[in-house]
Structure 1
């Protein structure tokens, strides 16, 4: 990806805002390269979203299948009763008050049911649940109530909860940056300025492939063979 032939004018700041363009202008050293970096960032975000989308669909379907397969027969789908998987569970807050730690996932399921519409099949409800919902199912607080009886069955036998939670947590953070159109390049640890380095993006692709492998080796191979992330990494403007 090459920089624009002509020096971009002030219309860029009117479009992006002064602070947003300043990040890329500082990283690029001049206006042409700054705009090229912004365009590269947009393209990189798009191709990453494709791979993340494939993984999200696989993760939510694997979790659903694991829950359903290990639920007593005769019970309705778990999305019809949010309290079944997420009963009231009190914990102490820092100010001494009590908080129901399962209130948020119950509310997320209830919202998904409303969004899916009356009589919607479980698959439609599942599709309305956000990546954030699925991401937090593998956290430590859900180890005994969810991971042990249900969720470990979604992955290769012997998979530990942290082996899933760590990369999924990083991908959730990364996906949120993409969703908010944030820079994907690395920031210098001291100056906090954007610098021209991309190994961490290769690491995020590695996270996608790692979790996909734990769900299905064939899925992992498919995502890797069709991903264009590595191609776009090579397009970093020079």
Structure 2
């Protein structure tokens, strides 16, 4: 029986990645594809739990120091939405002024719009924002405006902003690969993005927020058990 339906379903170029990896064994390639899906689901569960903890920790850190009567996400004077200009080199090497909050401002405005506009509650807006938004708050461009006055308090004393940002970047990259149904294994060029490493990073970061929550994620995660089932 022909298995060309697989090419029609997944597209020949997408499936060929797995066929080549499996020595042209198409049956094993299909099993590998299904395994990658299961691995992505296991990772996404861990990432989802961490994402909720991350945004709640950041919200608490902001609110502890925020003095504006409006919530820090809803206030026009918030350092996550107000224009902050930095001099950066563009792709041609020319230095130009860049508003580092341009993308974040659009994301927050869009979230507020989806949650009722002027009637939007902070909780709904927080839930509407993407992982990429939360990760962006620890970039170097936001060190003086966000990390130093607010977000450093979400982590143990002495935690490196750049180290946190690198960890969140890796998690976000893998999260996006899962969402776009791409392979999440054999990340040789980016070893910190290997599935077992992403799981370890999530647990390590969670320990900074809550040891109990970290233990729960670690003890109930399916990542390790799925990894050993590789075809």
TM-score, length-normalised on structure 2?
0.90
Q: Determine helix, strand or coil for the equivalent of 1:84.
A: coil
The structure 1 residue matched to 2:29, chosen from 34, 50, 54, is 34
1:33-59 residue CA offsets vs partner (Å, 9 max, x unmatched): 000000000111111111000000100
Q: CA deviation at 1:96?
A: 4.3
Structure 1 window deviating more from structure 2 (34-43 vs 178-187): it is 178-187
Q: 1:205 to 1:188 in 2, by over 3 A?
A: closer
Counterparts of residues 12-161 of structure 1 (less than 5 Å):
12-29=6-23, 30-72=25-67, 75-86=69-80, 87-92=82-87, 93-94=89-90, 95-118=94-117, 119-161=119-161
Match of 2:194 in 1: 200
Structure 1 window deviating more from structure 2 (148-157 vs 199-208): it is 199-208
**Conserved in 2, the CA contact under 8 Å of 1:90 and 1:101?**
yes
Q: CA deviation at 1:188?
A: 6.3
Q: 1:144 to 1:121 in 2, by over 3 A?
A: same
1:93-132 residue CA offsets vs partner (Å, 9 max, x unmatched): 4344432121111111111101111423211010011000
TM-score, length-normalised on structure 1?
0.87
Count of residues in Structure 1 that have an aligned counterpart in Structure 2 = 222
Q: What RMSD in Å do the two structures reach over aligned CA positions?
A: 1.9
Q: CA deviation at 1:82?
A: 4.2
Supply the distance in 1 between the matched residues of 2:122 and 2:133 (Cα, whole angstroms): 16
Structure 1's unaligned 5+ residue stretches are 1-6, 190-196
Supply the distance in 1 between the matched residues of 2:30 and 2:2 (Cα, whole angstroms): 8
Q: Determine helix, strand or coil for the equivalent of 1:80.
A: coil
**Conserved in 1, the CA contact under 8 Å of 2:43 and 2:195?**
no
Supply the distance in 1 between the matched residues of 2:211 and 2:35 (Cα, whole angstroms): 30
Supply the distance in 2 between the matched residues of 1:161 and 1:91 (Cα, whole angstroms): 18
**Conserved in 1, the CA contact under 8 Å of 2:184 and 2:194?**
no
**Conserved in 2, the CA contact under 8 Å of 1:154 and 1:215?**
yes
Structure 1 window deviating more from structure 2 (120-129 vs 151-160): it is 151-160
Supply the distance in 2 between the matched residues of 1:8 and 1:38 (Cα, whole angstroms): 18
